[in-house]
A and B are shown apart, each in its own frame.
Chain A
Amino acid sequence: MLELKNLSVHYGPKRVVSEVDLTLAPGQTLGLAGESGSGKSTVAMSVLRLLPKAARVQGEILLDGDDVRTMSWGRLRAVRWASASIVFQGAMHSLNPVRRVGDQIAEPMRLHGTRGGVTELLEQVELPREKARAYPHELSGGQRQRVMIAMALACGPRLVIADEPTTALDVVVQAQVLAVLKRLVAEQDLGLLMISHDLSVLAETCDDLAVMHRGEVVERGRTREVIANPRHPHTAALTAAFPVIGDPAHRWAEPAAAPEPLLRVRDLVVDYGRTRAVDGVDLTIGRGEIVALVGQSGSGKTTLARTIMGLRKPSSGRVIFDGAEVARTGKALKAFRRQVQLVLQDPSSALNPRHTVFDAVAEGLRVHGLADDQEALVTAAVERAELRPASLYLEALPHELSGGQQQRVVIAGALVLQPRLLVADEPVASLDASVRGEIVALLLRLRRELGLASLIITHDLGLAWQIADRVAVMHQGKIVEQGSVEQVLLTPAHDYTRALLRAVPQV
């Protein structure tokens, strides 16, 4: 059905895809794995000739025997969506924000003269028919992704390409969306080409797997076999990067003695208007302890973190740091903030694109009026974050650095103030698999060497298993379960924890 022969794509002199050969038979499910920049999305876009004009495509792209590269525009438009459609990463901006989703689903049907109704398509993806009248912003991330799937199936294509269809969704929603996609592919006997950086997602959905690295397919085969016995070192690195909960080899945190408390949260309540975002939370973080706060989006974990950092006033309850109640205003609050530093999820948007690494790291020093000896402090922090030698990086701008290096700059910016607690909101979620492990190791090393405590906010239970001493599970504003990692993740007591664990894709 789909045959790529010797496919290469160049942007100017830069080769982003080189000599890729892939075939996909009807009813076959093929996963295409790789990190950002590996060329996997370029391959997907080339199938419907959607690459920008600057791209030079060589080789053959045969869709039902016809070469997409040489089709007339009219023929190409007829083939698009009717023969092969794409499930884009709909959680973000792949739907038109000012048009109702029902119209957007119906649009290709009218265009290609397909019979059928939007209602049935919505039913297939388990959405109520009223949602056809909704605008994209009125839907949740998972619902938008279902709309994308319904839209992709609108013209009854035989091939569906799914490009990172569950990235940016939390585990529970991801599991639901994958289940819908799997069911429809099986029911309608579709060919599926699924692209993801996450091997566990591909393992859940695809029978066959191809791994891309720097524009080349480095390994392919049955998914089970490739993951169980990776032959290429890059595949091995990818499989190793996703921790298996319960596997001692993936448990990187050293067992620590029960520490004395550094931060105590007592009966904390935070209201947004009439909505109770945080509902009576008790939480303790010891000196040098790493606590993972896990839960779905909307569970209140980010609000809790913001309140702990003094960025939001609690409605009631207490936050006690180092034996004293945290001040809510003035100099005392500023002094407290110096001790608690934040690391955000996406380093590319957390860093000002016009600030050099030196400026970014030194900013905290300037804010806190610690102007003496800036250079030595910044250099030390940058080296602590393992950007060595610092002199190579200080004058660099964010876009000149890789994702992992950017995240190290963010961490250096936190370290320069010599904090005692790091609050990290999804610190590895937007990083590639191979970099992820390095950042996790860095956080653990900082704890070992500096006694730095961390509160890691995440929906990734694997990360919690890898790094944390204790886990607190948050659901609808309440902490429903907390305890040591082994206790919570291996013998969960609460139904919600069990539901979260069930949703984790299994490699």
Chain B
Amino acid sequence: MRLAGRFGGAALSLLMVAVLGFFLFRVVPGDPVVSMTRGRPTTAAMQAELRAQFGLDRPLHEQFWSYFTSLLHGDLGTSFTFRRPVSEVIGERLGPTLLLVGTATLIAVLLGLWLGVRAAWRRDSVFDRVTTGVSLTLWAVPTFWLGMLLMMVTGDLFPSRGMRDTDTAPDFVSQALDVGHHLVLPSVTLVAVVCAEYALVMRSSLLEEMHAPYLTTARAKGLRDDLVRRRHAVPNAVLPAITLVFLRFGLVVAGAITTETVFSWPGLGLLFYDALTGPDYFLLQGLLVVTAGAVVVMNLLADLLHGVLDPRVKVV
């Protein structure tokens, strides 16, 4: 029953996202057709033709209905700038973003949780002070600035633009190595920011558990200090951090905008940036639906996983 409730809630959120995605771009000022044809000589007849082509001349509710039914079929309309279906454009950018965000998240989770646990367990040690200080700093600095700083510091060591070089040999190994080489700077930038947050959350969460009576029980049983931490303290303290990781992952898909723009990484973030400069309404609308949908789905996953990890939460 509760499980059905969670899915129902997620479905409702997705529906709201779809509705919002449509109306948000209808209330912003500016005529899409005018901005589409900016800089080019156009007649009123040509504009009318374009309006008809994109369905902008029909009443709002008709537009909404056709948008909504197409959405259910996976059709997000056609991009003005790319002159191709939005779903196709987004689809080919999804891979690079998932590669970047996935790599960064994986590293950030492992590193951040480890740093947080160690810092909390030895509270007020040099390690704790350094970790906390560095984390706060990284969390506070603007991402684009950090990215550009990294670029300057590393010089020519790592490529700073795009995802692959044109002159790389076509075999799989060379291609993979090339992409990996390109991945270093953007993923380091993203790790630095996200990892700091994970470390801080993990640290404070473990600090709250440090005086729990069940840890005294574990010590009294004769467990070594690191077993007390691994078997008893961390499994309890990690629960809020796991939720955060999943929520973040959903947000990071969209939130990699600055990183991708700085390093010209051909993912959704860069696409977002391009669509905004257009502005390309149908593309923006599609991106909004996809990224907001990702957050909703990740939120649902976090809920489900929490139910698996914490027996006190009855989800299934």
Contact = CB atoms under 8 A, between A and B. Distances in A.
Nearest to B218: A96
A114 B232 CA distance: 21
Given A93-B212, A93-B213, A93-B214, A108 B312 contact: no
Interface in B111-133: none
Contacts of A98: 235-236, 239, 309-312
Nearest to A79: B222
A82 interface: yes
Interface in A64-93: 76-82, 85-86, 88-89, 92-93
Contacts of A50: 216, 219-220
Nearest to B217: A94
A88 B213 contact: yes
Interface centre among A79, A82, A108 (most CB of B within 10 A): A108
B221 interface: yes
B220 A80 contact: yes
Contact of B214 (A78, A97, A138): A97
A99 interface: yes
Interface string B204-233: 000000001110111111111000000110
A95 B214 contact: yes
A98 B220 CA distance: 19
A135 B311 contact: yes
B221 A94 contact: no
Contacts of A86: 217, 220
A445 interface: no
A137 interface: yes
A395 interface: no
A311 interface: no
A82 B214 contact: no
A137 B310 CA distance: 11
Contacts of A88: 213, 216-217, 220
A31 to B, nearest CB: 20
Interface string A252-283: 00000000000000000000000000000000
Contacts of B214: 93-97
Interface string A121-150: 000000000000001011000000000000
Contacts of A193: none
Contacts of A97: 214, 236, 311-312
B221 A108 contact: yes
Contacts of A92: 213
Contacts of B212: 93
Interface string A102-132: 0000011001100000000000000000000
Interface in A24-63: 45, 48, 50
A151 B216 CA distance: 14
A111 B220 contact: no
Interface residues of B, number: 21
B223 A111 contact: yes
B218 to A, nearest CB: 7
Interface string B293-316: 000000000000000011110000
A111 B222 contact: yes
A81 B217 CA distance: 10
B312 A137 contact: yes
Nearest to B215: A96
Nearest to B310: A98
A396 B220 CA distance: 38
A146 to B, nearest CB: 15
A96 B219 contact: no
B228 to A, nearest CB: 10
Contacts of A81: 220-222
B222 A77 contact: yes
A111 B216 contact: no
Contacts of B216: 45, 50, 88, 94
B177 to A, nearest CB: 42
A295 B103 CA distance: 59
A80 B221 contact: yes
Contacts of A78: 222
B217 A111 contact: no
A112 B220 contact: no
A99 B310 CA distance: 9
Contacts of A94: 213-214, 216-217
A29 B309 CA distance: 42
A96 B311 contact: no
B206 to A, nearest CB: 14
Contacts of B220: 48, 50, 80-81, 85-86, 88
Nearest to A48: B220
B219 A135 contact: no
Given A93-B212, A135-B311, A99 B219 contact: no
Interface in B217-272: 217-224, 231-232, 235-236, 239
Given A50-B216, A80-B219, A96 B232 contact: yes
Nearest to B211: A52
A80 B225 CA distance: 13
Contacts of B221: 80-81, 85, 107-108, 111
Nearest to A134: B311
A108 B236 contact: no
Given A50-B220, A94-B214, A107-B221, A99 B235 contact: yes
A154 to B, nearest CB: 9
Nearest to B224: A77
B56 to A, nearest CB: 53
Contacts of A85: 220-221
B312 A135 contact: yes
A467 to B, nearest CB: 33
Contacts of A151: 217
A87 to B, nearest CB: 10
Contacts of B224: 77
Interface in B124-169: none
A138 B236 CA distance: 17
A208 to B, nearest CB: 24
Interface string A184-201: 000000000000000000
Interface in A443-463: none
A288 to B, nearest CB: 43
Nearest to A100: B311
B213 A108 contact: no
Contacts of A48: 220
Contacts of B232: 96, 99
Contacts of B311: 97-98, 135, 137-138
Given A93-B213, A97-B214, A108-B222, 7 more contacts: A77-B222, A81-B221, A94-B214, A95-B217, A99-B232, A107-B223, A137-B311
Interface of A: 45, 48, 50, 76-82, 85-86, 88-89, 92-99, 107-108, 111-112, 135, 137-138, 151
Interface of B: 212-214, 216-224, 231-232, 235-236, 239, 309-312
Shortest beta-carbon contacts, A-B, top 10: A80-B222, A108-B221, A135-B311, A77-B222, A96-B214, A94-B213, A93-B213, A81-B221, A81-B222, A94-B217
20 contacts: A48-B220, A80-B219, A81-B220, A81-B222, A82-B222, A85-B220, A88-B216, A88-B220, A94-B214, A94-B217, A95-B214, A96-B235, A97-B311, A98-B239, A98-B310, A98-B311, A112-B222, A137-B311, A138-B311, A151-B217
